[in-house]
């Protein structure tokens, strides 16, 4: 396309030069052709500014220079050059119109492609988040369902047990009936399913309420520090919640520290401990994300090396051993000479667990 534009610009320049001698030969003027040539030049400049925005003054120099005006052919009374110029201007106008249409169509297609790519990225991001959330909640949901099933499982009542009696062998019928027949015992009342379900539901509700009250009491028992340093106090409180194994509450508190005090030195501690709270709560997918965010956002933070190590351990738990090895390689590359000896030893052991190459 660039070659074609340059040739068109060169043709327009060549049209403007030989026109003057042809007009001078017969002493007439051609304002219509002059206006058309000027309009074509303006449109060519506009097209070149659109297609070649980096050119000097918005234009590229033509590769083909116009011929000497003295060598321009002339006809009798100037009729032939004017007719030839008119035909050439008509051809240039047609080519310019087609070129402008192609440029507009190309711009439209490019905008459509960019919008489609943006929609695709948004859709894929949403799908990945939903899949990760489902995978993380699968294990917890299984254990919770088992607990609920154990609590809801009905226990047989005395009446239900008595209503199903084991069969007894029938004695041979005597030839002569006994003088008196003992009274037949009344059948035990059948268990009421609706009453049993109601009892189980009440038991489940009472158990859940008791568990909730117990957890609130545990959270309330955690001392909230108040030293005047907001970032320090917020992190220490999150640490105490994590230490008490109140992982969901610790996650919320530590995330608040990262959001509210992202530039404080304790933000690196909070981001690393947030990932550990996810990992200890059997949420390795969320843990990987938290560790990576802490390392990416604060690579020189005091707990950034720990985040890289624990991210590798979370990947091992997800059975993504190849990714874990790449993570440990990143640790050695970035922190191999600055991390503590204990942490370097833990990374070496983890590399053996993941089956990484030496």
Tell me the per-residue pLDDT of 138-175, one tens digit each, with 9 for 90 and over: 544 444 444 333 333 333 333 333 333 333 334 444 44
Helix boundaries (H) for 153-165 = 158-163
Mean pLDDT to the nearest integer, 91-114 = 82
pLDDT-derived band at 120, boundaries 50, 70, 90: confident
The per-residue pLDDT for 129 is 77
Which of 7-11, 80-84, 130-134, 322-326 has the highest mean predicted lDDT (pLDDT)?
A: 322-326
Q: How confident is the model at residue 128 (pLDDT cuts 50, 70, 90)?
A: confident
pLDDT of residue 138: 53
- Confidence at residue 66, expressed as pLDDT on a 0 to 100 scale: 47
Residue 335 has pLDDT above 80, yes or no: yes
Most distant pair of Cα atoms in the chain: their distance: 157
pLDDT of residue 14: 52
* Average pLDDT of span 21-32: 50
Nearest to 306 by CA among 279, 318, 282: 279
| 81 and 73 Cβ atoms separated by less than 8 Å | yes
Multiple choice CATH, 227-354, 1.25.40.10, 2.120.10.60, 1.10.1740.10, 3.40.50.150: 1.25.40.10
pLDDT confidence of 193, banded at 50, 70, 90? Answer: low
* Whole-number percent of the chain with pLDDT over 70: 64
- The C-alpha atoms of residue 164 and residue 100 are separated, in whole angstroms, by 92
Contact present, 11 and 92 (Cβ < 8 Å): yes
- 266-275 pLDDT tens trace: 999 999 999 9
* pTM for this entry: 0.45
DSSP string, 240-291: HHHHTT-HHHHHHHHHHHHHH-TTSTHHHHHHHHHHHHHHHTT-HHHHHHHH
Give residue 306's pLDDT: 97
pLDDT digits (tens, 9 = 90+) for 225-264: 999 999 999 999 999 999 999 999 999 999 999 999 999 9
Say if residues 324 and 312 touch (Cβ distance below 8 Å): yes
């Amino acid at each position: 396309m660039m070659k074609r534009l340059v040739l068109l610009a060169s043709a327009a320049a060549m049209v403007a030069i030989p026109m003057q001698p042809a007009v001078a030969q017969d002493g007439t003027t051609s304002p219509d052709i002059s206006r058309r040539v000027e309009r074509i030049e303006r449109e060519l400049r506009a097209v070149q500014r659109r297609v070649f925005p980096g050119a000097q003054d918005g234009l590229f120099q033509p590769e083909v220079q116009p011929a000497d005006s003295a060598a321009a052919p002339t006809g009798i009374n100037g009729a032939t050059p004017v007719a030839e110029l008119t035909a050439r201007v008509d051809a240039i106008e047609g080519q310019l119109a087609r070129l402008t249409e192609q440029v507009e169509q190309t711009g439209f297609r490019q905008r459509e492609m960019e919008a489609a790519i943006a929609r695709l990225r948004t859709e894929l991001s949403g799908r990945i988040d939903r899949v990760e959330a489902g995978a993380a909640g699968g294990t917890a949901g299984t254990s919770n369902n088992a607990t609920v099933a154990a609590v809801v499982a009905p226990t047989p009542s005395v009446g239900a047990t008595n209503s199903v009696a084991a069969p007894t062998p029938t004695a041979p019928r005597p030839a002569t009936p006994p003088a008196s027949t003992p009274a037949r015992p009344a059948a035990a009342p059948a268990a009421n399913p609706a009453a049993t379900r109601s009892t189980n539901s009440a038991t489940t509700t009472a158990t859940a309420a008791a568990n909730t009250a117990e957890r609130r009491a545990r959270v309330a028992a955690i001392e909230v520090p108040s030293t005047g340093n907001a970032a320090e106090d917020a992190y220490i409180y999150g640490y105490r919640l994590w230490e008490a194994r109140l992982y969901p509450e610790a996650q919320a508190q530590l995330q608040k520290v990262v959001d509210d005090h992202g530039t404080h030195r304790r933000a690196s501690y909070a981001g690393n401990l947030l990932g550990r709270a996810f990992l200890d709560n059997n949420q390795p997918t969320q843990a990987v994300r938290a560790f990576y965010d802490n390392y990416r956002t604060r690579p020189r933070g005091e707990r950034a090396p720990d985040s890289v190590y624990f991210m590798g351990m979370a990947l091992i738990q997800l059975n993504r051993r190849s990714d874990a090895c790449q993570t440990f390689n990143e640790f050695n590359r970035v922190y191999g000479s600055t991390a503590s000896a204990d942490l370097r030893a833990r990374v070496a052991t983890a590399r053996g667990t993941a089956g990484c190459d030496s």
